[in-house]
Structure 1
């Protein structure tokens, strides 16, 4: 559509673009293009969808992926306006496929959710009547995002109760979120013989725009 308008403005006859011309667009693979809040990304997707329709007689093509796995191909096909049909025999892959392509479109919209008091798992088990009386409904901008955060925090709470003692604070009193496993070798100095981890670096992150972290031996 954009190319056709440009041709009309120049007084030229519009020519249907070749498929090879449509595929040579690296703008679609940039991370910013997938951000719905990015105006430039939205414009790039709009142009891509118009070009796909122009290459298919004005109609969105259908993409069939019978071995879709986690759904990368149908997801990208849907992004550029195609009608995607996907399947997978593996039940785990099928669930991931639905979570990738179906659930965000079905549940990722404004709606009402039921809020409960912030209680621990044990408190909630012994206070069910009280919790039920204190429930309230609230409008949220995205039901799916709310539910994912809610149940992720629920899992985190249960994990802290069961295995939190395995992750004591570090030497700098900051919380420990994981461990790096490494083979060790004894120091060749007979008077030392300390265990040396065979790691290239103890840095977890050294990007300028992110807070860095480091590893400490235990």
Structure 2
């Protein structure tokens, strides 16, 4: 029975990974065809960005969501061309939590984000860049994303390096982490139902942090 249970778990994990790969390809190929214009505000990131209707949340038709589930910094680097070629007015980037969950160091995450910044500063110099902190996670009240919780101690050091990078490059760093963390530095359980992704109320909190920069 134990072997059957382990096999079932393995098949479930494989099926989930396959479904994610299919979804990611669907999103990536769609984004390659959808135009980005110089008047647009692009939200770029992973599933946490992907999960929100940003244009409706801000009541702004110029906002384009370019988040893709499970993306890491290397995935974002590989799909920048259609965005850069559109020379968007503003870019809001949040990326890195999946890198950390996969074992990447804070330095490796920040180095790749620096490469993303380099591309925009070299090829779309009028795009105003906003780097958002990586959000907290919660492994105390939820048990769905163990690898993310196992590396949660790397989130704050990564954010500190990101803030320093932004100061060095003369771009805006936005601390969203503090708005969504509880007193113990975990993702507040009021804003999540799995310890990683956000409920509607969590997105409202995030929106309020970004309002001064999106206007």
Same fold (TM over 0.5): no
TM-score normalized with structure 1 length: 0.23
- Greater Rg by CA: 1
TM-score normalized with structure 2 length: 0.23
Q: Which has the higher contact order (CA 8 A, sep 6+)?
A: 2
